[in-house]
Each structure stands twice: as structure tokens, then as C-alpha cells.
Structure 1
Amino acid sequence: MVRAVLGVLIMVVLGACSPSADLQDAPVPLGDFRLEHNIVIASKAQRSPVSRAATEEELAETVRTAMAERFGRYNGASRYHFGISVEGYALAPPGVPLVLSPKSALIINVTVYDDAAGKKLNDTPEQITVLETFGTGALVGTGYTMSAEEQLVELSRNAAKAVERYLVTQREEQGWFEPDPVAISGETVLVEPS
């Protein structure tokens, strides 16, 4: 009986804390933004000593899919590109319930490119570290409740959400993704000779 109740509680918590729960909502405002190229590599990814294995291809494709899922919702007129490198990961194996519950983690570096300007918006890549969603395995760890593939999907979605928060902050603080009124209107600007 206790096992059944615990199982139901875990499933409720898993559903309530989903990192993709807000994807049905309107995207947070990002100005004049559209993701054009979504390049993810994982050739330098370091695996934690206490981790299930994932291939370079699995890491890159899962992160790429999560970024496309979140940022494909934006349809601004200005094109931007992501260059993302997976730096490290830990996919928690089963632990000892209530004593040792390893947590899953993912570390990525993100560079954002402005297509029209032909340059990086952030000269130094932004390093983002995310952990498994709170509540998905507080008592027993996600090593018992999720497969390695499910853990990686969750971490990748958390990473995409963290990138979105980073972009919102940069828009507010640095003026990223502001629309170019001339480019939007299609007008030709004549410059008077001096």
C-alpha cells in the first residue's frame, strides 16, 4: 500500500515539475528573435565518475531538440544562431533510497550569433549548469525513477529554459534582439555626403 501511494506521489510530482510545462503557453517576450541555426556539439563532454553513459550523438541531439522545441516558437524577423557545446554531464544511477540519491546535471556553453551583424553577441560563451528538476527524485533519485534517456531529455529541457532566462536578461540589460525599424519597414536610407 505504501509503495503504491509513493508511486502515485512520484508520478504527480514528475508531471507537476516538468521543465516543458510552459511550452503550451505563449513564449516569454524576446523582442525581434528567430532561431535560425541551432548547432550543438558534445565532442568535449566530460562524464561524471558517478554517471550512466551517453554517447556524443545522444548528448548533442537531445540538447539540440530541446533548444528547437523551446526557441522554435519565436518568429521574429531577425535571425540568430546558437553555438552550444556540451561540457559535462551526470546521469544519476540508482542510489540507496533515503541515504544516497545521486543527482543528474548538465553543463553547456552557449554563444549567440547575430546573423545581420555577422558577429557574436557574447564574446565569451555563457556557461550554464542545470540539475534535474526539483522534486523528480527527492527521496529516491531519478536513477530509480527515470532511464538515462529520460534524464537527459529532462536536463536538456532545463538547459533550454535556462538559456531562455539568460536571453531575457541580456535583452533587458544589453538591449539584445531589439527590432531594426529600417530593416522592418524595408526603407532605403540615403546618407548625405559630408
Structure 2
Amino acid sequence: MVRILAILSLMLGLAACTDATSDLSRPVEPLGDFKMGHAIVVAPNLNMVGISKEASSEEWVTAVDRAVETRFRRYDGGKFYHLGISLEEYSLAVPVPLVPSKSGLSLRVTVWDDAAKAKMNEETHVVRVVQVLPSYGMTREQQIASLAEEAALWIEKWLRERMEEDGWFATAGSATVASAAPAAAAAPVAQPEG
């Protein structure tokens, strides 16, 4: 019985790892005129919260940078935009037999328009990722990678929302050309369900 539970936990853990990256194998859906210039990921005040496995700031910066680069280098729009990402908090699940555990990552995002030399969002956008994980089956490194990949996905979803609602990344020929001044409205916090 324990073996069956361990195998099921492993399968669920592997499935959780692939959800955030499953769209990367499909054709790229354009993100307006977005082309990533720089992605700067920093963690000057990264805090571990709750009962958690430890991870260094460097591990987090590397994982989030890799996930952001993988997700956003696919876009080849006509204008450069830069992403500033500050990692704030994390928690890595500690295995407890037969009890699902939670892992989480919280970060702040700012988007810069290279041509306008200005921030597009006045307030930093907060992304909070929470994953319920099986008690066995995911290593610390897999948890970090999974949270980073899901955070990158939620950043993309937020950028798409801003494109639809505020005209971000609009090309000159599109129906919704962004105004010269970026929208000042704060975006809702992206939180995955489940």
C-alpha cells in the first residue's frame, strides 16, 4: 500500500511540474509587439516563510530567470520591453507522510517600455503561486523549478490581461493602440486555483 501511495505521489508531482510549461510546446500566440529586452531577477530581501526547506537566493534567482527566459524569449515583436522581478517570499514543502504539503513563491513584477524609457505599471504587480504537492515525490530542486515555471506563466497571463484591458504591446496597425501614458490602474493579484 505504501508503494502504491509513493508511486501515485510521484506521478502527481511530475504532473504538477509539467502543467506550467505544457503550452511551451505549442505554437507561440503573439503578445502584441512584445520582445523581451532584459529580464532582471533579484532577491535582496527574500524571506523563507512557515515550515520550509531552505533554498538560497541564488537558487531562486537562477530558477526564475531560467523560467522567464524560456517563456518570454519566444516572442519576437517589434519593440523591446524589460521585466524587473523581485523575489519576496517562498516556502518549500516539507514531506509529511500521507499529507499533501504546500509550496509557494511570491514576487513583484515591473514592466519597462524601452522606447518610452518608462515603467508601464505604476504599482508593482504581485504574483503569488501556491502549489499543493504530494507528500512524496518532488525534490527541493523540482519544487523550486515548478514554482518558478508557474510564476513565469502567471506573469504572462497578467501581461496578456494588460494587453487586452489597457492596450499594452499594441502595434501601430491594431485596433487598440496604447496611449502615450501607461495605465495607472493596479492589476489584480494572480493566484492559481487549487
Q: TM (normalized to structure 1)?
A: 0.82
Check if 1:177 corresponds to 2:169: yes
> What's the CA shift for 1:145?
1.6
CA RMSD after TM alignment: 1.6
In structure 1, C-alpha distance between the alignment counterparts of 2:45 and 2:28, rounded to whole Å: 31
Cα distance in 2 for partners of 1:42, 1:104 equals 18
Query: Would you say the 8 A contact 1:78–1:179 is kept in 2?
Result: no
Cα deviation, 1:152-183, whole Å, max 9, x if unaligned, reads: 000000000000110010000000001135xx
Q: 1:130 to 1:72 in 2, by over 3 A?
A: same
State how far apart, in whole Å, the 2-side matches of 1:80 and 1:155 are.
23
SS across alignment from 2:33: coil
Structure 1 equivalent of residue 103 of structure 2: 104
Q: Deviations over 1:72-110 (max 9, x none)?
A: 111111100000000000011112423xx3300000000
Cα distance in 1 between the residues matched to 2:96 and 2:12: 19
What SS does the corresponding residue of 1:145 show, helix, strand or coil?
Answer: coil
What secondary structure does 1:104 align onto? strand
Structure 2 portions without partners, runs of 5+: 174-194
Q: Which residue in 1 is equivalent to 2:95?
A: 94
* Higher-strand-fraction structure: 2
Per the normalisation by structure 2, the TM-score is 0.82
CA change 1:3–1:102 in 2 (3 A) is closer
1:15 CA drift (Å): 4.2
* Aligned match of 1:126: 125
Per-residue displacement from partner, 1:107-141 (whole Å, max 9, x unpaired)? 00000000011101001100010012x5x42xx2x
Q: Which residue of 2 aligns with 1:80?
A: 81
Cα distance in 2 between the residues matched to 1:106 and 1:151? 10
- Contact 2:10–2:137 (CA<8 Å) still a contact in 1? no
Q: When the two structures are aligned, how many residues end up with a matched partner?
A: 171
Q: 1:166 aligns with which of 133, 158, 179?
A: 158
**1:17-45 residue CA offsets vs partner (Å, 9 max, x unmatched):** 42211110123331111111010001111
The AA in structure 2 aligned to 1:86 is L
**Corresponding residue for 2:69?**
68
Q: Give the whole-Å Cα distance in 2 for the aligned partners of 1:28 and 1:95.
A: 40
Q: Which runs of 5+ in 1 are unaligned?
A: 182-194
Q: Name the SS of the counterpart of 1:123 in structure 2.
A: coil
* 2:22 corresponds to: 21
Point out the more displaced range, 113-122 or 46-55. Answer: 46-55
* Equivalence for 2:182: none
- DSSP-derived class of the 1:76 partner: coil
One-letter identity of the residue aligned with 1:145: G
- What fraction of aligned residue pairs are identical, expressed as a percent? 36
SS of 2:161's equivalent in the other structure is helix
Computing the radius of gyration from Cα coordinates, the structure with the larger value is 1
Distance in 2 between residues matched to 1:12 and 1:59, nearest whole Å: 24
Runs of 4+ residues over 6 Å off in structure 1: none
